[in-house]
């Protein structure tokens, strides 16, 4: 049994420390607890220790947990690949979708977002290292895609998300995140209001915070290894 309280406190302390070191406001870095393939009971446990944001990759699994945890106030983030035939369910049940990488998918999410809910928060996924195994668009395509989706009424473009390939050292990790931070800043200069850089996992969280991450996605270090 993992000690979720202890793990959460440890991660929070690391975020605080990194924020201080790089002169960031600690409150500007949101901790997203990635709960994929972990039971609803673990999420409930984390909620008791003040965690509100949870990330899920698999739709059906997430829907089951949402049902089990209806009594809790949770902000649900979809962080998996988005297939076109899943957009309706994602638009209906989630607060965020981090992996938008097609205009068509963005349009479907926007059209299918229930009018009773606030717009779905979305990030554009960037495939920084051109990896065939990963989703996302090239950095050079970000500006066009952002302007294509920024005005869609059912979604609210919040920023960029990426999972860079592992780097050998801290400086290389920082350099990768800096490219994303620059791209986000260019969007802002073009008048597209974005406030989110969804980068940083267990291995590269500090470098991500150094370069302006506003949302780190941490699973194993909170909930333990997935089986």
Return residues touching ligand PLP (CB under 6 A).
34, 36, 57, 79, 163, 201-202, 217-221
Smallest gap from residue 162 Cβ to ligand PLP (A): 9
Smallest gap from residue 159 Cβ to ligand PLP (A): 15
Smallest gap from residue 154 Cβ to ligand PLP (A): 23
Smallest gap from residue 124 Cβ to ligand PLP (A): 14
- Non-local (6+) Cβ contacts of 213 within 8 A are 29, 177, 197, 198, 199, 200, 205
Any idea what DSSP says for residue 181? Answer: H
- Of 78 and 194, the one with the shorter C-beta distance to ligand PLP is 78
Nearest to 77 by CA among 30, 115, 141, 112: 30
- Of 63 and 220, the one with the shorter C-beta distance to ligand PLP is 220
Rounded Cα gap, residues 189 and 87, in angstroms: 30
Instruction: Classify 201 as helix, strand or coil.
Output: coil
Q: For the chain, how long is the longest CA-to-CA vector?
A: 49
| C-beta nearest to ligand PLP: residue | 219
- Of 87 and 162, the one with the shorter C-beta distance to ligand PLP is 162
- Of 111 and 129, the one with the shorter C-beta distance to ligand PLP is 129
- Of 34 and 74, the one with the shorter C-beta distance to ligand PLP is 34
- Please write down the long-range contacts of 184-188, taking CB distance under 8 Å and 24 or more positions apart: 184/159, 184/160, 184/212, 186/143, 187/142, 187/143, 187/146, 187/159
Smallest gap from residue 25 Cβ to ligand PLP (A): 23
């Amino acid at each position: 049994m993992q000690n979720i309280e202890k793990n959460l406190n440890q991660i929070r302390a690391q975020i605080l420390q990194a924020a201080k070191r790089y002169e960031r406001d600690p409150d500007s870095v949101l901790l997203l607890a990635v709960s994929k393939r972990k039971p609803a009971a673990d999420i409930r446990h984390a909620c008791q220790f003040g965690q509100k944001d949870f990330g899920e990759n698999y739709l059906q699994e997430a829907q089951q947990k949402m049902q089990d945890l209806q009594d809790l106030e949770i902000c649900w983030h979809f962080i998996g690949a988005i297939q076109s035939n899943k957009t309706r369910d994602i638009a209906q049940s989630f607060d965020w979708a981090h992996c938008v990488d097609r205009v068509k998918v963005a349009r479907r999410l926007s059209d299918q977002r229930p009018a009773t809910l606030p717009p779905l928060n979305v990030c554009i996924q960037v495939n920084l290292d051109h990896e065939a195994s990963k989703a996302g668009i090239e950095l050079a395509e970000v500006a066009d895609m952002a302007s294509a989706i920024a005005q869609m009424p059912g979604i609210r473009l919040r920023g960029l998300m990426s999972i860079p390939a592992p780097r050998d050292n801290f400086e290389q990790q920082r350099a990768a995140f800096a490219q994303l931070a620059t791209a986000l800043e260019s969007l802002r200069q073009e008048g597209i209001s974005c406030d989110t850089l969804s980068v940083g996992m267990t291995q590269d969280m500090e470098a991500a915070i150094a370069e302006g991450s506003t949302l780190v996605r941490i699973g194993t270090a909170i909930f333990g290894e997935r089986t």
